Structure 1
């Protein structure tokens, strides 16, 4: 792949430090950033800012590793700062454990030319040279790491157009997708959130020539988030105000809804789950448009949660979970029985109530704002994958929270609060809801078993495996409903509910 280059003029030390922050936001384990430049060109300033941004510690002491050759720091990811000026031989890199350090961290290398050709493929080079009263920075490279860093520089350009070009950037969170979120800060202003949402990469076809994301109706651009955000705000839901947007690149500058998470000390609180269930009841009692405006003349059509989308999701259990726990692909007998049972259940949902289904209405996507009142206590984020689907799905997503163990008592209180609120608002088919609730809980947790294994096996994210025992417990709870007796028998016959260690 041919190399690419990006140049930025840095008029002062503050601009050099901001460039260090920009690069820090893009770093991932295995990345190597090689710093080149004459003495006094700003390498130390940039390295210090990059390391402090990763550690989220503006006062962190970052001494030069000139004599130690390498200095390591913990943070969002480990970063290893090499200064090879005194390297006696390129092969001394092996003695420093260079390759081992890249297994879970990134490397920042000054004087990389001393290592001859031992820098790994994909290394990104940043050259700093004096230019007038400032410096010229030239970022060059090829491959995925360079693309990430280039995109981070584009996000800084976007912030500049929004009047936030001098903002301090700090990583907030990422998720199972390619999206990432940052906290951006300016003196004298309330913090804001920057969303970095690259266009969706569809991946290979999995059925009928279509990619998984096409069948599951995953949002392909940030326009979906903007459109749903506007609709939900008009419907009385506390979602972020969007101050600036670049829909082509996938950048948003948004309101920071608050810093208090939905959980307390990592544990669910019944009062908060009940409040969230009542918010869902309010939302589900409304009529929603399915053609939503993201920008003048640009509309987002909310897709349906149709049987094809439901089935391709539950197939993740067959495609990823079953091979992981049995050591062999799912057999034809299992596949045939699995599809027969699920299609019968999906048919039972046809003709039922539908609403704006947020899809991931659970604790990571809810901000608790206890100082406020009513529904405004709940700030809602991450809803770009919303569909037209059964209201029961969102209630199941909340009550069977994938990231935290919700005890049966809180799960039941959550569902009962929702049912009571729907009854209070007008006619409500409780029996149909309870059946749909069980079906959607089983569907969602079957999908999640597959997704969490896929995140480990395909994407190198083993941390998700720790959630599997919880998801299996949720699945057993959902399958206790009489309407799911056939599916439960199939899962039990094939050992899919047994405790497994991966």
Structure 2
């Protein structure tokens, strides 16, 4: 077993010192699966009580999720967690209660929601009442309705969140051009032509994302971040986690994240029913504008995801996400012919069907090396 480094020993001391201040120093501590960022989580158990310790050291670096900075690497902070928790509590969401925090040292003690995510409930086949696929997705959409009513009633005023505009989305899509397109368009001339046309496409499409207005968004709203939490009345609530990157953005953003998740294919029929359920709660929304915004926002999310897959493959050697690439392209094109023909035209012109599969990374690397030395 390798010995802890001096930095690890210092961090271990800081965690223990924090737990002493909270009265949890004698708890059994079990590490949980690390977050995709520098955040780490530990489950604490003492007698019949449990809690979670979030460890997000301020000397760590995380990537700006909002497309604000040209250099996306930023200093880590738990401040967004503290701020958004209070905000979503006011909005009526069931989010983990914060028991204690040390913002300076990047430590937060939070309520433990347990382990039953909507994903696990779906995998269990809906054996519990109300946890079948339709029931769970209805619960998830109901939470968005609650949040968006809060927004429509003035909840966004002075909420302290980043407010997205087309430029934010454009910066988020830089990785699609820089990290993904080289994997599928080996010819430099064709790639430059595709990128030039892509930038023109964004000029036209990005403003359409706001056709249905804007709301507070969770930004990563999907079944892995929704949980069944006992409510003390014999039932369970829809618990919501991982919302620290919340922002103000296009109204369909979270609905798209939920219903067009590349990892969980619910099919177009259930997607359509859930959209209609949502829209029935907001009869004043223009349906045509909403559909245009929905498809445009889906384009942004899935192009951004493809860029992330490319970055992970080339920079981190992680190619397991390539299995999701065909579905990303299917979701990008779903509804485009009716609502965003310019998007469909760009894809059909520059990304033929064979290029919408998992790329051959070895061949691409060879082609790019040859191109760099030509």
TM-score (norm 1): 0.62
Distance 1:304 1:475, change over 3 A: same
1:289 Cα deviation (Å)?
Answer: 3.8
Equivalent of 1:315 in 159, 170, 174: 174
Higher strand share: 1
Alignment equivalent of 1:288, drawn from 118, 133, 155: 155
SS in 2 for 1:311: helix
Asked if the contact 1:366/1:380 (under 8 Å) is kept, the reply is yes
Give yes or no for contact 2:212–2:286 (8 Å, CA) kept in 1.
no
Alpha-carbon distance in 1 for matches of 2:333, 2:34: 30
State the distance in 1 between where 2:57 and 2:198 align: 35
In the alignment, does 2:133 pair up with 1:276?
A: no
**Could you say which residue in structure 2 is the equivalent of 1:260?**
116
1:371: Cα distance to partner? 6.8
In the superposition, relative to structure 1, how do residues 350 and 182 fare at CA in structure 2: closer, same or farther (>3 Å)? same
Between 1 and 2, higher relative CO (CA 8 Å, sep ≥ 6) is seen in: 2
In structure 2, the partner of 1:157 is 17
Aligned residues: 343
Residues 272-322 of structure 1, C-alpha deviation per residue, up to 9 Å, x if partnerless?
112211210121111224545xxxxxxxx3111111210111222111111
1:210 is the counterpart of 2:70: yes
Quick check: 1:326 aligned with 2:182?
no
Partner Cα separation in structure 2 for residue 418 and residue 252 of structure 1: 34
1:405 equivalent in alignment to 2:261? no
Normalised by the length of structure 2, the TM-score is 0.82
Q: Does 1:306 align with 2:139?
A: no
Once residues 262 and 346 of structure 2 are traced to their aligned partners in structure 1, the CA distance between those partners, rounded to angstroms, is 23
Q: Distance in 1 between matches of 2:118 and 2:155?
A: 26
Q: How far, CA to CA, are the matches of 1:243 and 1:233 in structure 2?
A: 14
Q: How does 1:406-445 map to 2 (within 5 A)?
A: 406-423=266-283, 427-445=284-302
TM-aligned CA distance change 1:149 to 1:359, over 3 Å: farther
Unaligned runs of 5+ in 1: 1-107, 110-124, 127-138, 141-146, 293-300
Judging changes above 3 Å, is the alpha-carbon distance between structure 1 residues 452 and 176 closer, same or farther for their aligned structure 2 residues? farther
Structure 1 equivalent of residue 366 of structure 2: none
Query: Quick one: distance in 2 between partners of 1:493 and 1:250?
Result: 48
Kept in 1, the 8 Å contact 2:291–2:339? The answer is no
SS, match of residue 116 in structure 2: coil
Deviations 1:155-193 (A, max 9, x none): 23222221111222222233322222221111232x111
Structure 2, gaps ≥5 residues long: 126-131, 361-374
Q: Provide closer, same or farther for how the CA distance between residues 266 and 338 of structure 1 changes in structure 2, counting only shifts above 3 A.
A: farther
Kindly state the Cα deviation for residue 429 of structure 1 after the two structures are TM-superposed.
Answer: 2.4
Tell me what 1:483 maps to.
Answer: 339
Q: How does 1:333-352 map to 2 (within 5 A)?
A: 333-350=193-210, 352=212
User: Which aligned pairs between 1:360-375 and structure 2 lie closer than 5 A?
Assistant: 360-369=220-229
In structure 2, the partner of 1:448 is 305
> For the aligned residues, what is the CA RMSD?
2.9
Match of 2:357 in 1: 499
Q: Is the 8 A contact 1:197 1:222 kept in 2?
A: yes
Whole-Å Cα distance in 1 between the matches of residues 63 and 87 of structure 2? 30
Deviations 1:197-222 (A, max 9, x none): 23462679xx99821357xxxx9521
Cα–Cα, structure 1 residues 325 and 175, in superposed 2: closer, same or farther, change >3 Å? farther
Q: 1:168 to 1:456 in 2, by over 3 A?
A: farther
